[in-house]
């Protein structure tokens, strides 16, 4: 099951993000995993970031594997569209593409990929991220 909760004023294409999540989970042989995706405000993601990562600032995405103490029965992705919108402006990519890339990044983290572990892990994760992004129309 994949659940999507938009707790912001941003318009979120739930059908698109459901499809994107399914593409990544299926590609990683994790299609039976339960996944929760929440779109939240900068204030909310800052609180979660501080509580779980010790960083007192908003971020674009936070990911939690099962058993991380957030929602133990689900893989959990928390995205802040406002932060993503700022990143889209900086990277000159569209908001929808940047939000899609952020979701893919979050799903990969939630199933165990971690680009912060090593250069090798970073290369693997970002190649997968681009691979899945290329599959989204």
Cα 120 to Cα 25, 59, 125: the distances in Å are 22, 24, 9
Taking only the tens place, the pLDDT of each residue in 32-81 is 888 999 999 999 999 999 998 888 999 999 998 876 655 567 789 999 99
Task: Decide if pLDDT at 136 tops 90.
Answer: no
Q: What is the mean pLDDT of residues 102-128?
A: 91
Distance CA 98, CA 101 (A): 5
pLDDT averaged over every residue in the chain: 89
Distance CA 48, CA 58 (A): 9
Q: What is the pLDDT of residue 67?
A: 65
Question: For 29, which DSSP code?
Answer: T
Q: What is the pLDDT of residue 81?
A: 94
Domain ranges (residues) in the chain: 2-135
List the one residue out of 12, 20, 28, 5 whose CA is nearest residue 136.
Answer: 20
SS3 89: helix
Tell the CATH topology of 2-135.
Collagenase (Catalytic Domain) (3.40.390)
Q: What is the pLDDT of residue 108?
A: 94
């Amino acid at each position: 099951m994949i659940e999507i909760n938009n707790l912001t004023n941003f318009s979120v294409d739930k059908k698109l993000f459901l499809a994107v999540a399914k593409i990544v989970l299926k590609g990683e042989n994790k299609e039976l995993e339960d996944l929760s995706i929440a779109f939240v405000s900068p204030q909310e993601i800052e609180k979660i970031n501080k509580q779980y990562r010790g960083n007192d600032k908003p971020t674009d995405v936070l990911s939690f594997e099962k058993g991380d103490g957030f929602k133990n029965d689900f893989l959990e992705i928390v995205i802040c569209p406002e932060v993503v919108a700022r990143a889209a402006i900086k990277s000159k990519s569209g908001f929808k593409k940047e939000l899609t890339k952020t979701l893919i990044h979050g799903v990969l983290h939630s199933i165990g990929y971690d680009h912060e572990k090593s250069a090798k892990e970073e290369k693997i994760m970002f190649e997968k991220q681009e691979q899945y992004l290329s599959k989204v129309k």
